[in-house]
Structure 1
Amino acid sequence: MATSSRLGLLREPDFGRLFAATALGQLGDRIIFLALPLVAIMALDADEFQVGLLTTMTTAGSLLVGLPAGAWVDRMRKRSVMISTDMARSLALLTIPVAWSADLLTIWWLYTVALFHGILTVFFDVAYISYLPHLVGRSHLVEGNSKLSAIRSVTSISGPSIAGPMVGWVGAPATVLASSIGMAMSGLLAMNIRNREQKPEPSERPQLGREIKEGLKFVLKYPALRAIILGDGIFNLFLVMYQAMLLIFLEREMGLDSFEIGLILSGMGCGALLGALLATRISRRVGHGPIIWIAPLVTCPLTALMPLARPGWSVYVAAVGLASLSMGGVVRVVSQSSFQQALTPDHLLGRMSATARFVSWGGIPLGGFLGGVLGSAFGAKATLWIGAVGMTLSILPNFLSPLRTMRQLPEQVDTSPLPEPDHRR
Structure 2
Amino acid sequence: MLADLDLVVPLEPDDPLAVNGIGGMAVTLVLVLLGLPLGMLIDRARRRSAMAVVPLLVAAGGLSVLAADVLGSRSDGHAVAVLTATGVLTAMAPVVRDTCLPAIAGRERLVSANALLSVVPLVLALCLVPVLSLLDDLADVAIPLLTATMAAGAALLFRMVDAAQEPAPPRVGSRREMAEAIRFTARHPVLRAIALYLVVSALVAEFADEVADGALRVAAESAGIPVGSYFSMVNLSALSAPFVGALLAVLLHRKVGVFRLACAALLVSEPFTLLLALSGSPGATIWYVVGTLVPITGTAVAALTLLSHLQALTPDRLLGRVGGLLLALTTLADALGGLLATPAERLADATPLTSLPGPTLATLAALAATVPLLRAVAAHLR
TM-score range, shorter chain: 0.7 to 0.9
Q: Which amino acid aligns with 1:282?
A: L
Q: Which amino acid aligns with 2:260?
A: P
* Residue 92 (str. 1) matches residue 67 (str. 2): no
Q: What does residue 162 of structure 1 align with?
A: 129
| CA distance in 1 between partners of 2:343 and 2:317 (Å) | 42
- 1:364 Cα deviation after fit: 2.2
Q: 170, 174, 192: which is aligned to 2:160?
A: 192
Q: What does residue 300 of structure 2 align with?
A: 330
| CA distance in 2 between partners of 1:163 and 1:315 (Å) | 27
Q: What does residue 143 of structure 1 align with?
A: 112
Q: What does residue 115 of structure 1 align with?
A: 84
**Bigger shift: residues 132-141 or 380-389:** 380-389
Q: What does residue 227 of structure 1 align with?
A: 193
| CA distance in 2 between partners of 1:306 and 1:164 (Å) | 35
Compared CA separation, residues 315 and 188, structure 1 to 2 (3 A): farther
| CA distance in 2 between partners of 1:364 and 1:327 (Å) | 21
Give the secondary-structure state (helix, strand or coil) at the position aligned to 2:5. Answer: helix
Give the secondary-structure state (helix, strand or coil) at the position aligned to 2:258. Answer: coil
* Superimposed CA distance per residue, residues 116-149 of structure 1 (whole angstroms, 9 cap, x where no aligned partner): 2232234322221111111122222222223223
| CA distance in 2 between partners of 1:327 and 1:225 (Å) | 23
1:353-392 pair list within 5 angstroms: 353-367=323-337, 369-370=338-339, 373=342, 378=346, 381=349, 389-392=364-367
| CA distance in 1 between partners of 2:294 and 2:97 (Å) | 26
Q: Percent identity?
A: 24
Give the secondary-structure state (helix, strand or coil) at the position aligned to 1:362. Answer: helix
Count of equivalent residues: 366
- 1:299 Cα deviation after fit: 2.4
For structure 1, list consecutive stretches of 5 or more residues without a partner in the other structure.
1-21, 408-425
* Superimposed CA distance per residue, residues 81-110 of structure 1 (whole angstroms, 9 cap, x where no aligned partner): 22211222344356668878969576x876
Q: 160, 176, 182: which is aligned to 1:216?
A: 182
| CA distance in 1 between partners of 2:293 and 2:277 (Å) | 15
| CA distance in 2 between partners of 1:104 and 1:124 (Å) | 27
Give the secondary-structure state (helix, strand or coil) at the position aligned to 1:289. Answer: helix
* Superimposed CA distance per residue, residues 58-98 of structure 1 (whole angstroms, 9 cap, x where no aligned partner): 55443121111222111101222222112223443566688
| CA distance in 1 between partners of 2:286 and 2:68 (Å) | 36
Q: Which amino acid aligns with 1:280?
A: V
Compared CA separation, residues 297 and 137, structure 1 to 2 (3 A): same
Note if contact 2:241-2:297 (Cα within 8 Å) is conserved in structure 1. Answer: yes
* Superimposed CA distance per residue, residues 247-294 of structure 1 (whole angstroms, 9 cap, x where no aligned partner): 89979x96455x875666653331111110110222233332222222
- 1:233 Cα deviation after fit: 1.2
- Calculate the TM-score normalised by the size of structure 1: 0.68
For structure 2, list consecutive stretches of 5 or more residues without a partner in the other structure.
221-225, 351-356
Note if contact 1:145-1:334 (Cα within 8 Å) is conserved in structure 2. Answer: yes
Q: Which amino acid aligns with 1:162?
A: V
| CA distance in 1 between partners of 2:65 and 2:364 (Å) | 36
**Bigger shift: residues 171-180 or 147-156:** 171-180
Compared CA separation, residues 356 and 230, structure 1 to 2 (3 A): same
Q: What does residue 44 of structure 2 align with?
A: 75
| CA distance in 2 between partners of 1:361 and 1:327 (Å) | 22
Compared CA separation, residues 280 and 56, structure 1 to 2 (3 A): farther
Q: What does residue 343 of structure 1 align with?
A: 313
Note if contact 1:271-1:327 (Cα within 8 Å) is conserved in structure 2. Answer: yes
* Superimposed CA distance per residue, residues 165-215 of structure 1 (whole angstroms, 9 cap, x where no aligned partner): 84995599789645555444333322332x144584462x54110000111
- Calculate the TM-score normalised by the size of structure 2: 0.74
Give the secondary-structure state (helix, strand or coil) at the position aligned to 2:176. Answer: helix
**Bigger shift: residues 273-282 or 90-99:** 90-99
1:7-406 pair list within 5 angstroms: 22=1, 25=2, 28-29=5-6, 46=17, 58-92=27-61, 112-152=81-121, 154-155=123-124, 158=126, 162=129, 166=133, 177=144, 181-193=149-161, 195-197=162-164, 200-201=167-168, 203=170, 205-240=171-206, 242-243=208-209, 255-257=226-228, 266-303=236-273, 309=279, 314=284, 318-367=288-337, 369-370=338-339, 373=342, 378=346, 381=349, 389-401=364-376, 403-404=377-378, 406=380
Compared CA separation, residues 67 and 92, structure 1 to 2 (3 A): same
